[in-house]
Amino acid sequence: MIVSPKIFYTHCYGKYAIPAINIFTLEQVIGLFRAGQKANAPFIVQMTPVARNYTHQDMLLGMIKAASKIYPKATFAIHLDHGNEAHAFDAIASNSFNSVMIDASHDPFEKNVERTRAVVIKAHKNNVLVEAELGVLSGVEDDLSIDEKSARYTQPSEVEQFVKKTQCDSLAVAVGTSHGAYKFSGGQGIQFQILQDIQHRIPYFPIVLHGGSAVNEAEIKRINKNGGRLNSSALGVSSDEITEAIKYGVCKINIATDLRLIWARVHREFFNDNPELFDPIIPGKSYMEACETFMLEKFELLGATGKVSQLKI
């Protein structure tokens, strides 16, 4: 069932969080929906502009709609991740999204407000929520790469005005996480002082954490053991940090890197162990199962397991 994330946020605030999963392939979609239905857990399925361009937006939406039919108890929202105006307006016009992100975080404050507000006006007319961003995350997402020097934390003093002026529905913040597999190369982790300050200024307003992958060390080791050359200093967000962040109003946690790492691990191991094979459906099946297992664990960690039956839908 497709549900507005507003219903999720109202219910989960301060208690648990909704995983927002970036999808690129059908194996990920199947694994995610199977896990969502099995765990009775709400989730957000989201796509970046690059994911849309990889095949086509209609292909991704088609897979999501098919999965919804196959797993009718799966309860989810569809979100556009990191859009600009063209992507956001296109998503709104498609009538298939519950929520869009306008990422104008690289612009100065006033410009960010102006660009976000324009998307909010159009989105709200069509019953679509808007996620905006304040502060700049470092790391690599899609074709955008931000070095650590250009990254900056969200200024808590700006959040109140930003939310008031734009009327956005949720706010992505930069509090120490980054995109990609190398989240804490500076070593500092999530800045809870900043997060707490933000929460105090906008109580009960849903906060979004980008770059929420765990970047499991065991996955990196298995990838490298099978011919990969990933930097072993790759580091993600720890489970403790995630559960702590939920208490500060983080309602949505974006996860993309982890499913990419699992993809690399499953396929590298499979072809290393079975060099004579070439059939995509054998490792594909393993990848679906690995995505499902990963999601079941993630729902558990975020406290989302079993929550669908408590939602007011």
Is position 252 an interface residue for Zn ion (rule: CB under 5 A)? no
Contacts of 153 (CB under 8 A, 6+ apart): 135, 174, 175, 176, 191, 194
Choosing from 81, 103, 169, 258, which is the catalytic residue?
Answer: 81
* Residue at 60: amino acid letter: L
Instruction: State the residue number with the nearest CB to Zn ion.
Output: 210
Contacts of 42 (CB under 8 A, 6+ apart): 3, 8, 12, 18, 36, 75, 76, 77, 304, 307, 308, 311
Is 4 within 8 Å of 77 (Cβ atoms)? Answer: yes
Closer by beta carbon to Zn ion, 115 or else 210: 210
| Span 102-141, contacts to Zn ion by CB under 5 A | none
Question: Where do we find the tokens 């558990």?
Answer: 300
Minimum Å gap between C-beta 248 and Zn ion is: 18
Minimum Å gap between C-beta 171 and Zn ion is: 13
Closer by beta carbon to Zn ion, 52 or else 210: 210
CA atoms within 13 A on the CB side of 240: 2
Question: Where do we find the tokens 């989730």?
Answer: 43
Q: How far lies 55's CA from each of 61, 118, 250, in Å?
A: 11, 28, 31
Minimum Å gap between C-beta 101 and Zn ion is: 8
Closer by beta carbon to Zn ion, 288 or else 302: 302
Minimum Å gap between C-beta 281 and Zn ion is: 31
Minimum Å gap between C-beta 82 and Zn ion is: 6
Minimum Å gap between C-beta 154 and Zn ion is: 13
What is the distance of C-alpha 261 from the center of its chain?
Answer: 15
Residues in the chain: 313
Closer by beta carbon to Zn ion, 135 or else 283: 135
| Span 173-232, contacts to Zn ion by CB under 5 A | 210
Q: Is 81 a catalytic residue?
A: yes
Is 138 within 8 Å of 148 (Cβ atoms)? Answer: yes
Closer by beta carbon to Zn ion, 154 or else 305: 154
The torsion angles phi and psi of 158, rounded to 5 degrees, stand at: -95, -20
**Rounded CA gap, 288 and 286, in Å?**
5
Closer by beta carbon to Zn ion, 79 or else 210: 210
Residues taking part in catalysis? 81
Which residues contact Zn ion (rule: CB under 5 A)? 210
